[in-house]
Amino acid sequence: MESKRDFLKKLGLITVGGIVGGTVTPSLASGSGSKLSAPKKSIGLQLYSLGRELTEDVPGGLKKVAQIGYSTAELAGYREGKFYNTGVTEFKKMAADAGLKVTGSHVNPPVRKYTTENKGEIADFWKKTVEEHAKLGVISLVQPGMPSVESNDEAKIVCEVFNKAGEIAKASGIKWGYHNHSGEFQKAVKDEDKGKRGVQGDVIYDLMLNGTDPNLVFFEMDVYWTVMGQNDPLEYFDKYPTRFPILHIKDRSILGQSGMMNFENIFNKAYKNGLEEFYVELEGIRQGITQFEGVKLCFDYLAKAPFVK
């Protein structure tokens, strides 16, 4: 079996290898503070990137995000009708006062195991969630947590649940999508083939893509986790050109510094396919800096990158 190291070396010629070229050099992410001559780009931030640095002072944190230069934000703090422990009206005012447009939100249903018995319960959850997000005015609502999928039959039920969530969201003018990590690139098999030798199975992510209605469900690809699942984002963009209108732009740490991710190729192909929006996500900072300092470096990298519109 091909190791992850060998896969990344091979993929360097296609998507991830900064060694070969096609990336903006890490020095461009150093944040020199110089003024940009190009028009301001619309760059979004997934607020999960900030962790406690945001939740300790949400109004001040939103202002900092806008001051860095981010135009849009995707939330990861909805729970039981509240956004970061505040009501929808109050939070909406906080974002407006900060000059930040909230366009998306990440939310998970209360269960991971989907069955024919609990499909109604999950649908009720999305009805309430969509209602609150419609008041907030988001464009997209995304599930970032992977349901339990061990077989093709379970994947079929998941797709039915996804389609229903998409139907509920669409009725309120919101796009419903799914965000991947690396587990979706594992394989599932039919129930009758479990335990049989030599059965290859089907990639769960493909089962999700093929089993959902494109008019109801989109996929917010996290390009980093796709690579960590030993898959090339560009191949998925080619195979499913209309399914990825929104992306998560992520690297091992600060964007552009790992030499792993060829963001130029990714952006060029995504734009060709009609990319509508993208959000920076930052986890696992290794440079000994704050999360706010990290997301600023990520913003600077993208703001200076010639391939980002």
- CATH topology for 42-304 is TIM Barrel (3.20.20)
Instruction: Point out which residues pair with 221 in neighbouring strands.
Output: 247
- Of the candidates 119, 174, 111, the one whose C-alpha atom is nearest the C-alpha of residue 148 is 111
Q: Which distant-in-sequence residues (6+ apart) come within 8 Å of 161 by Cβ?
A: 114, 119, 122, 123, 147
- 137-146 average pLDDT score: 98
Provide the residue ranges of all domains of the chain, joining segments of one domain with +. Answer: 42-304
pLDDT at 32 over 60: no
Which pLDDT band, with edges at 50, 70 and 90, does 200 fall under? confident
Average pLDDT of the chain?
A: 90
Token pair of 280, please?
């920076």
Q: What is the pLDDT of residues 63-112, one digit of tens each?
A: 999 999 999 999 999 999 999 999 999 999 999 999 999 999 999 999 99
Which pLDDT band, with edges at 50, 70 and 90, does 25 fall under? very low
Instruction: Give one word for 267, left, alpha or beta, with left for phi > 0 and alpha for psi -120 to 50.
Output: alpha
Which pLDDT band, with edges at 50, 70 and 90, does 178 fall under? very high
CA–CA dist 26, 24 (Å, integer)? 7
Task: Indicate the pTM of the whole model.
Answer: 0.89
- 288-309 average pLDDT score: 97
Give the residue, 293 or 27, on which the prediction is more confident: 293
Taking residue 115's Cβ as centre, other Cβ atoms within 10 Å add up to 13
Quote the Cα angle for 176-271-254, to 5°: 80
User: Alpha carbon of 228 to those of 11, 208, 209: distances in Å?
Assistant: 11, 18, 19
- 131-151 average pLDDT score: 97
pLDDT at 304 over 80: yes
Beta carbons of 252 and 284 less than 8 angstroms apart: yes
pLDDT at 2 over 70: no
The percentage of residues in the chain with a pLDDT greater than 90, rounded to a whole number, is 82
